[in-house]
Amino acid sequence: MPRNSWATEEQWDWLETHKAAFIESKQKETTSKVFFLAIVKEFREKWPVPPATDAEITEAGSAELAVKAKCTKCDKRVREWFHNNTCNVASKIGTATSVLDLKPKPKMLQAWQAYHVLRYEKQWKPHIDRLWETYKTEWESKNLDEKPPKSRLQLMNEFMREQYKATDEDMKKQCEAYRRSRKESSVAPGSEAERNLQFQIAIELLPRTLETIGESISQKTGWYVTIIAGGPTPNSNGMIMTYLSHTGQTKEGDTFEKFLGPKQYDEYLLDFEKFLHASFCKLWVISLWLHKLTSWIAKVDCELRCILHSETETVDTSGKAQVEGADDDEGKTGSSNKKRSAVQSDYELRKEKNIKELKMVLNRVKEMYPMPKDLEPSQTKKPKSRKKQPAEKGQVVRRESQRRKGKEQELTRCVRGVVTNVTEH
C-alpha cells in the first residue's frame, strides 16, 4: 500500500483485487453503468460509512443530508481510486520510476551548501577542525566515556549555515550563481557526448529491464514474451548490438532459442539486424532526408552514437583518417571494400547498389533543393576508426551484429544466457 492513502490496508487489497475487472469494464465502456454501481455498493456493505457527526449534520442541514454527503464522498473516493491507480500503468514506463531510468537529476544545493563548497576548503576547514577539537575535548572532560551529542558533521553544518547567514551580499550572489550553474550543468546539456553517455548507461541496464518487462507482461497476460532491442552501442564505437529477452518454454522444456535451433535462431535475429542497419547507417538517413528534412538534423547514425570519438581515430599511411567497421558507408569504396571481405552477402551487394542509386538521387536533389547552410553537417567531422575494445571483466556479453562480418571472420559465438530468461548475444 502506498503511503498515506485514505484506504486501509485491507481496503487497499480489496480494491487491488478489483483492478482487473475495472480495466476490463473500462474497455467495454461499462464502468459507470455496471462496474461502479456494483463496486461502491459492495465497498459500502463491506465498510459501512460511519454515522455523521454533529458538526457534519449541522453543516449539511440534516442528518439525512449529512449521511448522503458522506456516502457520496466515499463512493467518489472509491471511483477515483480506480482511475488513479490503474489508468497510468502503461504510461509510467519511461517516467522517473522506470527501470531504465538513470540516476535522478541531482537536486539544487541549498545556498549554505553552495557556500560550503565554495569556502570550506579554502577558508573554514582548519577553523572547523579546531572548533570540533575544542567542542569534543570540552564535552569529554565533563562527560567521561560519553560521546558528544553533536557529530562533527552537525557542528560543521551549523557553523557553515551561520557563516552563510553572516556573509555579505556579494558572496551570497556567488553562491546563488554556483548552485544554479551546478544544477544546469548537471542536467544533460544536450551535447552529443552527454547524450551518448546517458544512452550507454541505459543500454547497460537493458537486460534487467527487458527481463522485468517480459516477466510483467507474462504475469499479467499469461502469454510468453519475446522482446528484441538493438542499436548502436556508444562504448563500442556505435557498433550495432542486439538484445533478445524471452520468457517461457515449450512443453518439452525448450527455450525459444533451443526451439528454433542455432541456424534458424541466427536468421531470426539477422532480419532484425538488417532492419537496425537500415535504420542507423548514415546513407539510409540521407535517404530518409529525401522524404523528410528533419531526418538529417536528427543525425541518427552509428557514427554519432559513440562515446570515444576523439580517441579512436586512426591515421593510415596516406595520412587520411581511416574507418574500420560497420558504419562508414560514405568512405567505403574500392580498396576498402576489398580489404573488408572477399565474399559479400546478398544484403551487402544489394546495399552497395542501393547506395549508388541513393547517391545519384541525392545529387539530383541537392542540385534542385540545396541544403540550407545552417543545416549542413559539420565539414570538420571525420569518420572515426573503430578500435576494438577488449571486453571488460564481468561485462555483459551481448550479440554484436553479424551482418558486417565477412567470411574471413569467425562468427563469434557468444555465451547464451541459460540461467535467466534474457538471452544475451
Partner DNA sequence: TGTTGGGCACGTCTACAGGT
Partner DNA sequence: ACCTGTAGACGTGCCCAACA
Helix (H, G, I), strand (E, B) or coil at 144: coil
Over the window 44 to 83, marking each residue x when it contacts DNA by CB under 7 A and - when it does not, the resulting string is: -----------------------------x--xx-xxx-x
214, 247 Cβ separation under 8 angstroms: yes
Tell which residue, 425, 24, 421, 20, has the closest CA to residue 225: 421
Closest CB to DNA among residues 24, 376: 24
Q: Tell which one of 20, 63, 87, 321 touches DNA (CB under 7 A).
A: 87
| Integer Cα distance of 286 and 373 in angstroms | 16
Q: Does 309 bind DNA (CB under 7 A)?
A: no
For residue 315, what are the β-bridge partners? 321
Per CB under 7 A, contacts with DNA among 170-209 are: none
Q: Does 95 bind DNA (CB under 7 A)?
A: yes
Q: Does 18 bind DNA (CB under 7 A)?
A: no
What DSSP state is assigned to residue 97?
T
Q: Tell which one of 113, 196, 237, 322 touches DNA (CB under 7 A).
A: 113
Q: Which range binds DNA by CB under 7 A, 101-109, 195-203, 355-363, 381-389?
A: 101-109
Q: C-alpha grid cell for residue 146?
A: 560519553
Strand 399-400 and strand 239-246: the pairing is antiparallel
210, 357 Cβ separation under 8 angstroms: no
Helix or strand run (H / E) with residue 357:
helix 346-368
Q: Does 347 bind DNA (CB under 7 A)?
A: no
Alpha helices in 187-293 (DSSP H): 192-204, 206-221, 256-260, 262-280, 282-291
- Helices (H) then strands (E): counts for the chain: 17, 6
By CB under 7 A, the count of residues binding DNA is 41
Q: Nearest approach, Cβ of 118 to DNA (angstroms)?
A: 10
Q: Does 2 bind DNA (CB under 7 A)?
A: yes
| Integer Cα distance of 370 and 135 in angstroms | 75
Q: Does 90 bind DNA (CB under 7 A)?
A: no
Q: Nearest approach, Cβ of 154 to DNA (angstroms)?
A: 4
Q: Tell which one of 156, 286, 300, 308 touches DNA (CB under 7 A).
A: 156
Alpha helices in 292-340 (DSSP H): 294-298, 335-340
Q: Nearest approach, Cβ of 396 to DNA (angstroms)?
A: 24
What does the radius of gyration of the chain's CA atoms come to, in whole angstroms?
32
Q: Does 23 bind DNA (CB under 7 A)?
A: no
Q: Does 157 bind DNA (CB under 7 A)?
A: yes
User: What are the residues whose beta carbons fall under 8 Å from the beta carbon of 289, sequence distance 6 or more?
Assistant: 295, 296
Q: Nearest approach, Cβ of 238 to DNA (angstroms)?
A: 29
Q: Does 109 bind DNA (CB under 7 A)?
A: yes
Q: Nearest approach, Cβ of 109 to DNA (angstroms)?
A: 6
Q: Tell which one of 93, 108, 288, 365 touches DNA (CB under 7 A).
A: 108
Contact set with DNA (CB under 7 A): 2-7, 26, 31-32, 36, 73, 76-77, 79-81, 83-85, 87, 95-97, 104-110, 113, 116-117, 120, 125, 151-154, 156-157
